[in-house]
Amino acid sequence: MTATRILVVDDSASVRRLVKTYLEAHPGLAVIDEAEDGAEGVVKARALKPDVVVLDLAMPRMNGWQAAAVLRKLMPRLPIILFTMHAGVLSPSTAQDAGIAAIVSKAGPMDALVTEVRRVTDSGAASAFAGRS
């Protein structure tokens, strides 16, 4: 079985390191690269074709919402997980309309991120939104 290939996009280097370390501690998950803003994330997603993108919302240059919209047009079947401190202000229907498969709060347990990565990649349905945060 091949590992789930993950691209992590966050403007904080320490958050990227934490997410990478945590995800890779779980069998079958591999962070293939990182990006520090949405624009870089879009470029890397197109080049690397990850299985899932973990995307922060509040970033300079191109925020997560903008990056999700671009990725949805370029790669409509790519599952996108919004990993943000602002999870409570986004409604599940708004996220689903933007092509976001899941919202995970940075304030919550990291296990929630692992759960959502597995869920969106196992289901094969990028548009299936669980509404969990």
81 in a domain, yes or no?
A: yes
Mean pLDDT of 30-46: 97
0.85 surpassed by pTM: yes
The reported pLDDT for the residue numbered 78 is 95
132 in a domain, yes or no?
A: no
Q: What is the CATH number of the domain that holds 68?
A: 3.40.50.2300
Count: domains in the chain: 1
Q: Which residues, in sequence order, are CB contacts of 4 under 8 Å at separation 6+? A: 28, 29, 30, 51, 52, 117, 118, 121
The reported pLDDT for the residue numbered 86 is 65
Residue 11, domain extent: 4-86+100-123
pLDDT mean across residues, the chain: 87
117 in a domain, yes or no?
A: yes
- DSSP annotation of 62 reads S
Reported as a pLDDT band with limits 50, 70 and 90, residue 123 is low
129 in a domain, yes or no?
A: no
